[in-house]
């Protein structure tokens, strides 16, 4: 696919728009394998899905592959394989969406899909500082209630987004909580969902090689993130509570603490 448009979301994050009929049919929360020619192929969540065939990935510069991708220009070619995995299950009613950092990427198309069917959406966006916040203008176009937290207090409430979520859950009842971000943050949200007896879905990230459930690189307990996820329900996460939020695996398969 040729890159059709590039948007700078913040100093470290760019959005790359491309046209692909397969991605136009993706569900929010699904991912694609992105091939950067002569460098690597890496998994990335879709940050937008449109019926007109234009989709996008939103990428933080964190390694060789993403650094090379950030150097690409409009008209350059990238490879797109997918979409893969199981996305979010949409819920009508009152929902809470909680995102931290680049975890907001798969949550953005989710919010746009939920806005068409949900009576009320409470969107909580967190980051270390205001420079790292993503998609605020885009979120506000589809969600009436948006709360922001930054760890340094540079925008919104100072503190962690999970602290704000807990304050809200003490006062309000939700039909579903959706979350994506650092896994320790998602673990905290999972525990809050359990405490307040609220259904829960989270999009997880692991080391993914094949993207189709063959190689086993992304295993977490009995699950393969690429095939059984990347979105998991609270009930599924209970089965891997000895690993979720605690460990991940390196490229060579070694289990390391998060």
pTM of the full predicted structure? 0.96
Query: Could you tell me which residues are beta bridge partners of residue 179?
Result: 98, 202
DSSP one-letter code for 21: T
- Strand, helix or coil at 205? coil
Mean pLDDT of 158-180: 97
Q: How far apart are the first and last CA of the chain?
A: 35
**pLDDT tier at 36, thresholds 50, 70, 90:** very high
Tell the residue number behind the tokens 């953005």, with chain if given. 108
Q: Which residue has the higher pLDDT, 203 or 253?
A: 203
Break the chain into its structural domains and give their ranges: 5-84, 94-257
Distance CA 139, CA 255 (A): 36
Mean pLDDT along residues 49-74: 94
DSSP class per residue in 70-102:
HT--TT-B-EEEEEESB-PPP--SEEEEEEEGG
pLDDT at 181: 96
Answer whether residue 206 shows pLDDT above 80: yes
Q: What CATH architecture does domain 94-257 belong to? A: 3-Layer(aba) Sandwich (3.40)
The average confidence (pLDDT) of the chain is 95
- Look at the domain 5-84 and name its fold: Elongation Factor Tu (Ef-tu); domain 3 (2.40.30)
**Alpha-carbon distance 71 to 68, whole Å?**
5
Could you give the CA distance from residue 84 to residue 144 in angstroms, rounded to a whole number? 31
Q: Does residue 185 have a pLDDT over 90?
A: yes
State yes or no: pLDDT of 171 exceeds 90. yes
Q: Is the model's pLDDT at 104 over the cut of 90?
A: yes
Q: How does pLDDT run across 6-20, given as a tens digit for each residue?
A: 999 998 999 999 999
76-86: pLDDT as tens digits: 999 999 999 99
Q: What is the pLDDT of residue 121?
A: 96
Long-range CB contacts for residues 35-39, cutoff 8 Å, separation at least 24: 35/78, 35/79, 35/80, 35/81, 36/65, 36/68, 36/69, 36/72, 36/78, 36/79, 37/77, 37/78, 37/79, 39/64, 39/65, 39/68
Identify the residue with better confidence: 26 or 254: 26
Q: Is the pLDDT of residue 251 over 90?
A: no
Rounded-to-integer distance, Cα 9 and Cα 183, Å: 23
Mean pLDDT computed over 181-196:
97
Q: Which residues contact 119 (CB under 8 A, 6 or more apart)?
A: 92, 93, 94
Residue with tokens 């500082």: 129
* Encoded tokens for 119: 């009576």
Return the ∠ at Cα 239 (arms to 235 and 242), rounded to 5°.
Answer: 130
């Amino acid at each position: 696919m040729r890159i059709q448009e590039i948007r700078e979301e913040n100093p470290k994050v760019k959005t790359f728009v491309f046209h692909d009929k397969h991605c136009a049919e993706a569900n929010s929360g699904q991912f694609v394998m992105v091939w950067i020619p002569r460098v690597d192929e890496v998994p990335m969540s879709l940050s937008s899905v449109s019926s007109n065939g234009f989709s996008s990935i939103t990428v933080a510069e964190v390694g060789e592959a993403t650094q090379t991708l950030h150097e690409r220009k409009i008209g350059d070619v990238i490879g797109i394989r997918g979409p893969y995995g199981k996305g979010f299950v949409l819920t009508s009613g009152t929902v809470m969406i909680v995102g931290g950092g680049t975890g907001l990427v798969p949550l953005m198309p989710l919010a746009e899909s939920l806005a068409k069917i949900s009576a009320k959406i409470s969107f909580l966006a967190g980051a270390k500082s205001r420079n790292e916040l993503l998609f605020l203008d885009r979120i506000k176009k589809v969600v009436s209630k948006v709360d922001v937290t930054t760890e340094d207090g540079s925008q919104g409430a100072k503190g962690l987004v999970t602290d704000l979520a807990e304050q809200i859950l003490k006062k309000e009842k939700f039909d579903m909580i959706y979350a994506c971000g650092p896994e320790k943050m998602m673990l905290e949200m999972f525990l809050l969902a359990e405490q307040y007896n609220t259904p829960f879905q989270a999009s997880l990230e692991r080391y993914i090689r094949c993207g189709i459930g063959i190689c086993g690189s992304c295993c977490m307990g009995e699950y393969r993130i690429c095939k059984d996820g990347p979105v998991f329900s609270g009930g599924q996460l209970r089965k891997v509570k000895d690993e979720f939020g605690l460990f991940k695996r390196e490229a060579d398969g070694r289990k390391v603490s998060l």
